[in-house]
Amino acid sequence: MMRVTASLSLFALLAACSAAPSDPNTGSAMVTASIAGLTSGPGETQPPALDITTEPAPAAEAPVEPTPSHVAFKYLIGDVDPASDQKFARIPEKYIGGSRVWGHKDAVDAFVRMAEDAEQNGYKLKIVSAFRSFSDQKQIWEDKWTGKTLVGGKKLNKSLPDPAARAKKILEFSSMPGTSRHHWGTDFDFNSLENSYFTNNKDGRRIYDWLVNHAANYGFCQVYTSKKGEDARPTGYEEEKWHWSYAPVASWYLRQYPIDVGYGRLTGFLGSETAQQIGVIPNYVQGINPECVQ
């Protein structure tokens, strides 16, 4: 799994770099070197002045990726107040389409660049959900757990008395508190929370096609892709055509997650005892589109 991920992610990174050479977040030194390395094959002639690959870079300029940094536990489980935390930024008003208005600042910056590009081409992106705290997610989860919010028209506390079965039903579309990528501020839900909007509605279909073709240029990818067909994800949430993640930051969080958040720390909500039984970390937190891992 990790070997596949590593090679996929290198390919994805190169592809993203090639597609967006002016993107400041992709690391200009690496972009230039990668493009030069890829295009200076045998038989090609290039003016010597442009062939920068012949000059080895000094060691001091070697870093080609952001320096790995430890992501504190509180950020991994959404135990933060985004309004007073420097990692977060408010989403510009014109793009807000719901009650969640905060995101990781790098993700918000990249989103704004993407949304401006989309707008110039006739597509309107709105964020209907963004950062959610642990307590926000606890509320969503427990309302479903206790039957206050109906799931598929049913009160799950009555229709599914077995805790693991009930948790799995909720997990089709909602995360357990502490396991949501929305805790990280790196993930946004665009325009509608219905897959049918992106397949049956004309505007929705156009926006989804635009995202599929352009979002990677800005570092975004669809995390919960189809669970059917050849490229099916074997585990995790059902397909969500609306949920996109800013991979350059989210990849660090995902890598840190299993190290710092064990089952012993996934507590403080109804049904938390099912987390380990279901294997919520490998099966859901890590059950994502491999192209979203860098």
Q: Among 23, 106, 189, 239, which residue interacts with Zn ion (rule: CB under 5 A)?
A: 189
Alpha-carbon gap, residue 166 to 231, rounded angstroms: 28
Name which of 34 and 179 has its Cβ closer to Zn ion.
179
Provide the minimum distance between the beta carbon of 92 and Zn ion in the complex, in angstroms, as a whole number. 19
- Per rule CB under 5 A, count of chain residues that contact Zn ion: 2
Q: Among 144, 169, 233, 243, which residue interacts with Zn ion (rule: CB under 5 A)?
A: 243
Name which of 190 and 269 has its Cβ closer to Zn ion.
190
Name which of 20 and 115 has its Cβ closer to Zn ion.
115
Asked if residues 268 and 138 have their Cβ atoms less than 8 Å apart, the reply is: yes
Alpha-carbon gap, residue 92 to 101, rounded angstroms: 8
Q: What is the largest CA-CA distance in the chain?
A: 74
Name which of 20 and 91 has its Cβ closer to Zn ion.
91
Provide the minimum distance between the beta carbon of 28 and Zn ion in the complex, in angstroms, as a whole number. 31
241 near Zn ion (CB under 5 A)? no
**Closest-CA residue to 239 (of 193, 270, 205):** 193
Stretch that binds Zn ion, among 139-147, 235-243, 248-256, 267-275 (CB under 5 A): 235-243
Sign of CA dihedral 226, 229, 230, 236: positive
Sign of CA dihedral 173, 265, 130, 190: negative
Give the burial class of 3: count Cβ atoms within 10 A of its Cβ; 0-12 exposed, 13-18 middle, 19 or more buried. Answer: exposed
Stretch that binds Zn ion, among 6-14, 64-72, 101-109, 243-251 (CB under 5 A): 243-251
Provide the minimum distance between the beta carbon of 266 and Zn ion in the complex, in angstroms, as a whole number. 19
Alpha-carbon gap, residue 107 to 292, rounded angstroms: 14
Provide the minimum distance between the beta carbon of 187 and Zn ion in the complex, in angstroms, as a whole number. 6
Question: What is the SS3 assignment for 169?
Answer: helix
CA distances from 67 to 60, 62, 248, 275 (A): 14, 11, 12, 32
Provide the minimum distance between the beta carbon of 271 and Zn ion in the complex, in angstroms, as a whole number. 20
Instruction: Say which residue the tokens 């996109």 belong to.
Output: 244
Stretch that binds Zn ion, among 67-75, 188-196, 209-217, 220-228 (CB under 5 A): 188-196
Name which of 160 and 241 has its Cβ closer to Zn ion.
241
Provide the minimum distance between the beta carbon of 60 and Zn ion in the complex, in angstroms, as a whole number. 41
For residue 286, the 8-state DSSP code is S
Alpha-helical segments (H) within 121-201: 134-145, 156-159, 163-170, 195-200
Name which of 189 and 239 has its Cβ closer to Zn ion.
189
Site residues, Zn ion (CB under 5 A): 189, 243
